[in-house]
């Protein structure tokens, strides 16, 4: 079986006020986390042999996300990869490391490169000082520029610059300036995520009743259109709602998620989905360590056991995020389910979707209403004979 492998690094120097990813503040205990991961890989190996019968798990992508993976040294990743090579058929084509600009060091970057990391996803967030201050990031614009220069100087060309848009104070002009500056570095891949105010974050408390956030959905839609036009005119393909790339530079690992392919997640908080089961490790370091070291068991809990309908819903939800859309004959042949013809006609007639051969895709207009359209399609799933 071919799998994507995700490794979660749950450490950050300081928690950003909008962030709802699992991470803890402070100096990471690299050695302790390494011991835990090696144990988890070992236990997973035993478990997978009992489940799949043989050593047949082939890792085709490796993605280290966080948290802040660039807080951990090449030595740490060396030991992890050494173990992965022993346990899996580990020959990923794409090895991505997420990095924060202010944490990068040239000697570590060389080390990551030597280990095989061939893609860096850099958390730029904004090319405006005002934006970085609003988001309370620890880096400045000059740190981003230095980080990109260092990444390039070690020969890593496959670079993604990751942004947040829709922050308070960002106007059309600022956004266009940020886009122009980003393209000066010719990144093959860019991500643009709308600033979302998640419950439980500092921003949620701060902006709960703020009129700016109540009125911002139309503004964010405008910004999304500006980003789309700007980048597509300059040779980037808008291949997923929030992601843009030159041809052949799409993130292979993330494509696995969107295409409902299996992936394994290692580390505290990591999520996996193999076959019909989605499982997750605890978002709590002490529970994660306790399961591995004291209870000698894998720390995950099953969080979802997909029925046929759940599966098709997920395939529709994720698949319609991509410009390639979903394949209707696959749904019919694999699951015996389809989408009512009248519903497809209506969506196409209103310009929200289009049919290309057997593929249903959302248009740009449709993407802006992705969740609503998906909910409508879900209501129109039917059994086919
Ligand atoms: S650095 Fe990234 S993962 Fe860490 S708190 Fe900030 S946004 Fe979240």
User: Given a cut of 90, is residue 227 above it in pLDDT?
Assistant: yes
CATH 1.20.120.50 at 2-257, yes or no: no
Write out the two tokens for 337: 């389910």
Ligand 1 mutation pick, 8, 9, 15, max ligand atoms within 8 A of CB: 15
> CB–CB of 359/329 below 8 Å?
no
User: Given a cut of 70, is residue 289 above it in pLDDT?
Assistant: yes
User: Given a cut of 70, is residue 8 above it in pLDDT?
Assistant: yes
Q: Whose CA is nearest to atom 2 of ligand 1?
A: 67
The pLDDT of residue 285 is 98
Ligand 1 mutation pick, 67, 102, 104, 198, max ligand atoms within 8 A of CB: 67
The pLDDT of residue 212 is 74
CATH 3.80.30.20 in the chain, residue ranges: 2-257
The pLDDT of residue 54 is 57
User: Given a cut of 90, is residue 46 above it in pLDDT?
Assistant: no
User: Given a cut of 70, is residue 256 above it in pLDDT?
Assistant: yes
The pLDDT of residue 49 is 76
Band (pLDDT 50/70/90 cuts) for residue 47 is confident
**Mean pLDDT computed over 260-269:** 97
> CB–CB of 140/100 below 8 Å?
no
Say yes or no: CB of residue 67 within 6 Å of ligand 1. Answer: yes
Ligand 1 nearest-atom number relative to CA 137: 6
CATH of 308-383, one of 3.30.1180.10, 3.30.930.10, 2.70.70.10, 1.10.10.920: 1.10.10.920
User: Given a cut of 60, is residue 151 above it in pLDDT?
Assistant: yes
Say yes or no: CB of residue 65 within 6 Å of ligand 1. Answer: no
Say yes or no: CB of residue 23 within 6 Å of ligand 1. Answer: yes
For ligand 1, the distance from its centroid to the CA atom of residue 372, given in whole angstroms, is: 29
The pLDDT of residue 55 is 61
The pLDDT of residue 53 is 61
Task: Tell me the percentage of the chain whose pLDDT exceeds 90.
Answer: 91
Per residue in 58-87, pLDDT (tens digit) is 999 999 999 999 999 999 999 999 999 999
Closest CA to 258 of 193, 320, 330: 320
Query: pTM of the predicted model, to two decimals?
Result: 0.96
Measured CA to CA in angstroms, residue 46 lies from 55, 108, 320 at distances of 10, 33, 36
User: Given a cut of 90, is residue 216 above it in pLDDT?
Assistant: no
The pLDDT of residue 210 is 82
CATH 1.10.10.920 in the chain, residue ranges: 308-383
User: Given a cut of 70, is residue 93 above it in pLDDT?
Assistant: yes
Closest CA to 42 of 270, 285, 298, 283: 298
């Amino acid at each position: 079986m071919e799998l994507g492998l995700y490794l979660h690094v749950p450490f950050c120097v300081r928690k950003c006020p909008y962030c709802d990813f699992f991470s803890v503040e402070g100096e990471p205990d690299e050695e302790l986390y390494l011991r835990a991961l090696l144990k988890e890989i070992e236990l997973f190996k035993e478990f997978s042999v009992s489940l799949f019968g043989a050593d047949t798990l082939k890792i085709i992508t490796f993605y280290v996300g966080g948290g802040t993976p660039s807080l951990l040294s090449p030595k740490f990743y060396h030991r992890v990869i050494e173990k992965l090579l022993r346990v899996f058929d580990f020959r990923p084509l794409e090895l991505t490391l997420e990095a924060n600009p202010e944490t990068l060091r040239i000697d570590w970057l060389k080390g990551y490169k030597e280990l095989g990391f061939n893609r860096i996803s850099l958390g730029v967030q904004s090319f405006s000082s005002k934006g970085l201050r609003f988001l309370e990031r620890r880096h400045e614009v000059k740190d981003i520029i230095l980080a990109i220069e260092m990444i390039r100087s070690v020969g890593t060309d496959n670079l993604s610059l990751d942004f947040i848009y829709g922050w308070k104070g960002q106007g059309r002009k600022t956004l266009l300036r940020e886009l122009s500056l980003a393209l000066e570095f010719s990144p093959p891949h860019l991500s643009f995520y709308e600033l979302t105010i998640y419950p439980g974050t500092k921003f949620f408390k701060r902006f709960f009743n703020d009129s700016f956030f109540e009125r911002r959905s139309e503004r964010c839609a405008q910004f999304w259109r500006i980003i789309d036009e700007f980048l597509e005119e300059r040779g980037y393909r808008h291949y997923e709602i929030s992601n843009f790339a030159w041809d052949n530079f799409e993130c292979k690992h993330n494509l696995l998620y969107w295409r409902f392919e299996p992936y394994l997640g290692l580390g505290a908080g990591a999520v996996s989905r193999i076959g019909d089961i989605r499982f997750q490790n605890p978002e709590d370091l002490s529970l994660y360590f306790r399961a591995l070291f004291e209870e000698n068991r894998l720390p995950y809990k099953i969080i979802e056991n997909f029925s046929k309908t759940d599966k098709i819903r997920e395939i529709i939800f994720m698949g319609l995020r991509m410009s390639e859309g979903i394949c209707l004959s696959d749904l019919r042949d694999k699951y015996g389910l389809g989408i009512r013809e009248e519903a497809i006609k209506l969506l196409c007639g209103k310009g929200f979707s289009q049919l290309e051969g057997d593929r249903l895709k959302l248009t740009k207009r449709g993407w802006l209403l992705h969740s609503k359209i998906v909910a409508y399609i879900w209501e129109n799933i039917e059994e086919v004979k």
